[in-house]
């Protein structure tokens, strides 16, 4: 299908630019004491939500290509969905299907992993150990482990990264204990040696993204590869010890650990000749550790290269071919809205801070790195702070706003997209006061941007990619339970159009979701949607 947009006959768009504002992690939940969005003072959003060009969108489950409607959305699939304009099966669903059909185990990459395991080498599984289904799923790991036993691989090690972010903040034992039980069972029944070898909290061990803090990767490398870290006799002992020592610590910020034998020696360092499988399917927090395994001359930190066969659950960056080997093909997202806009000669910009920069570029563009057309596009990254986000809930929202205003006033761009990370990144900390400040910061920044849009005779869409800060805790059996994961709540969708003259109205879309945004953007720019894009959220009179 050619990348061709047809102009609408009676609407050419506004004189000024169209700005898409994505309030990351700000969903629409029940107005209760656990909802930071509700508790925050948000005069701008309150006014917007009372307008007539307002609706709610699904941002989770099947609406964004995940297996079921019990699956929370996330920033990766959210931006994929907005940029693609239609639903594509996403990471979790593709892995589920590949494991269920057995296709994964017919992959040549899997055969090479098995071959290494049968040559007196160890097969290592590295990834996030939870059922959050955002970066990984524990069931996928269990299926891989059982297959290793069936294939009579003698030695397997698991390097377990603790979640506490997409699942309960202190739920690590809920995943480590059944994992250790399965490893012991497989070892006994098949006369093999399967164990957990190392681990640590995801925010301090291994899972950095967007080059924000390579020391996170270094800590993981030291633990997983070199066996350097605090020593324990088991992963369960490590977690219990950390809990006892610091009652306030949460899993995601738990220090790295190394499991040792009775002689104090690490039970599972990664050595030349071994195979390493990263069982995370989501790319952003898997790329840097992948580079550490694949780039011999990596200079981001001091690391001694190990010659292993490395594979990802999926390919994390298709343009840069990271990793070279992978078990499940990623979704092939073609004809994104940015490809259409570039083909039509529409100038645009994308801006966010480091934590979400890849979302408004790489994921937005269908998992493609770099520019589509450097002559038409400008990408701006504002460096994120390297601290826990509840310590600075404003994050870089003011700086993003200032730069966005500069871009808008340059009169160079017809379309822009901006992501405010606050509601998501601060929401993940579980700290209510910080989340309220984060939401209030976003509200203020949105107001400042809308003033400029009005000044320039432009239009804006205010929305979100998924919920998070809208549920900071829940009440269970009379006890408060902190919630750091994304939510299943819908997200707002508001059209701010100061020059509105009754040209269009909100359409009665059936079960509208994030994929309906692309067609709406095109309509507001004066174009008809591609025939296979999901319907617009507006219809012209």
User: Residues with catalytic annotation?
Assistant: 75
DSSP 376-391: TEEEEEEPPPSS-GGG
Q: What distance in Å separates the CA atoms of residue 531 and residue 417, rounded to the nearest whole number? A: 23
Comparing C-alpha atoms, which of 537, 539, 524, 536 is closest to residue 13? Answer: 524
Indicate the Cα dihedral angle 45, 50, 51, 53, nearest 10°: 80
Contacts of 181 (CB under 8 A, 6+ apart): none
What are the start-end ranges of the H helices in 42-171? 43-49, 75-84, 91-101, 108-117, 138-150
Which residues, other chains included, contact 421 with Cβ-Cβ below 8 Å and sequence gap of 6+?
Answer: 24, 25, 352, 353, 355, 356, 384, 395, 396, 397
Question: Cα 299 to chain center, whole Å?
Answer: 26
Burial class (CB in 10 A: 0-12, 13-18, 19+), 56: middle
Contact in structure between 464 and 37 (CB atoms under 8 Å): no
User: Angle CA(318)–CA(321)–CA(327) in degrees, nearest 5?
Assistant: 80
- Dihedral (C-alpha) 64, 364, 459, 378: value to the nearest 10 degrees? 180
DSSP label at 467?
A: B
Contact 515, 81 (CB under 8 A): yes
- Beta-carbon contacts of residue 68 (< 8 Å; ≥ 6 apart): 61, 62
Residue found under tokens 């006033």: 409
- Residue 164 sits at the vertex; the CA angle it makes with 159 and 165, to the nearest 5 degrees, is 110
Determine how many CB atoms are found less than 10 A away from the CB of residue 25. Answer: 34
Q: What are the residue ranges of helices labelled H in 277-325?
A: 287-294
For residues 90 and 65, the answer to whether their CB atoms sit within 8 Å is yes
Tokens at residue 222, please? 């030291």
Q: Which tokens go with 194?
A: 């399967």
The strand pair at 230-232 and 257-259 is best described as parallel
Looking up tokens 């989340």 gives 435
User: 89: Cβ–Cβ under 8 A, 6 or more apart, which residues?
Assistant: 65, 97, 331
User: Is 65 in contact with 81 (CB distance < 8 Å)?
Assistant: yes
Note whether 255 and 204 are within 8 A (CB): yes
């Amino acid at each position: 299908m050619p990348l061709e947009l047809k102009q609408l006959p009676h609407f050419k768009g506004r004189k000024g630019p169209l700005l898409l504002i994505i309030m990351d992690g700000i969903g629409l939940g029940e107005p209760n004491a656990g909802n930071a969005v509700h508790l925050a003072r948000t005069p701008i959003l309150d006014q917007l939500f009372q307008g007539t060009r307002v609706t709610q969108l699904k941002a989770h489950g099947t609406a964004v290509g995940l297996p079921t409607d019990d699956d929370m959305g996330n920033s990766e699939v959210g931006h994929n969905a907005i940029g693609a304009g239609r639903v594509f099966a996403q990471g979790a669903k593709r892995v589920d299907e590949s494991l269920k059909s057995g296709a994964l185990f017919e992959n040549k990459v899997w055969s090479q992993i098995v071959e290494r395991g049968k040559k007196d080498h160890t097969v290592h599984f590295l990834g996030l150990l939870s059922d959050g289904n955002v970066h990984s799923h524990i069931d996928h790991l269990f299926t891989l482990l059982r297959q290793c036993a069936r294939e009579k691989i003698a030695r397997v090690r698991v390097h377990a990264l603790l979640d506490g972010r997409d699942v309960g903040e202190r739920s690590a034992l809920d995943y480590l204990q059944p994992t250790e039980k399965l490893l012991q069972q497989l070892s006994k029944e098949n006369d093999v040696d399967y164990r957990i070898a190392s681990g640590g909290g995801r925010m301090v061990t291994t899972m950095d993204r967007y080059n924000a803090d390579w020391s996170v990767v270094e800590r993981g490398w030291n633990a997983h590869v070199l066996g350097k870290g605090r020593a324990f006799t088991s992963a369960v002992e490590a977690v219990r010890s950390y809990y006892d020592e610091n009652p306030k610590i949460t899993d995601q910020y738990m220090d790295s650990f190394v499991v040792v034998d009775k002689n104090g020696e690490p039970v599972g360092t990664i050595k030349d000749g071994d195979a390493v499988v990263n069982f995370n399917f989501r790319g952003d927090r898997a790329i840097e550790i992948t580079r550490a395994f694949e780039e011999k001359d990596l200079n981001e930190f001091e690391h001694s290269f190990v010659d292993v066969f490395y594979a990802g659950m999926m390919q994390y960056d298709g343009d840069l071919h990271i990793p070279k080997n992978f078990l499940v093909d990623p979704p092939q997202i073609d004809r994104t809205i940015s490809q259409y806009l570039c083909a039509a000669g529409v100038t645009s910009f994308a801006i966010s801070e480091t934590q979400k920069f890849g979302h408004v570029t790489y994921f937005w563009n269908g998992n493609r790195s770099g520019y589509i057309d450097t002559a038409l596009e400008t990408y701006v990254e504002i460096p994120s702070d390297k601290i826990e986000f509840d310590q600075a809930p404003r994050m870089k929202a003011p700086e993003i706003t200032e730069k966005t205003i500069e871009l808008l006033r340059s009169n160079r761009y017809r379309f822009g997209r901006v992501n405010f990370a606050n509601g998501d990144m601060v929401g993940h900390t579980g700290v209510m006061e910080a989340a309220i400040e984060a939401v209030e910061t976003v509200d203020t920044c949105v107001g400042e941007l809308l003033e400029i849009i009005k000044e320039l005779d432009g239009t804006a869409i205010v929305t979100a990619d998924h919920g998070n800060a809208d549920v900071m805790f829940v009440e269970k059996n009379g006890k408060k339970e902190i919630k750091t994961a994304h939510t299943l709540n819908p997200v707002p969708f508001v059209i701010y159009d100061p020059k509105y003259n009754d040209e269009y109205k909100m359409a009665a879309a059936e079960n509208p979701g994030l994929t309906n945004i692309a067609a709406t953007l095109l309509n507001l720019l004066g174009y008809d949607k591609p025939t296979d894009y999901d319907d617009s959220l507006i219809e012209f009179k």
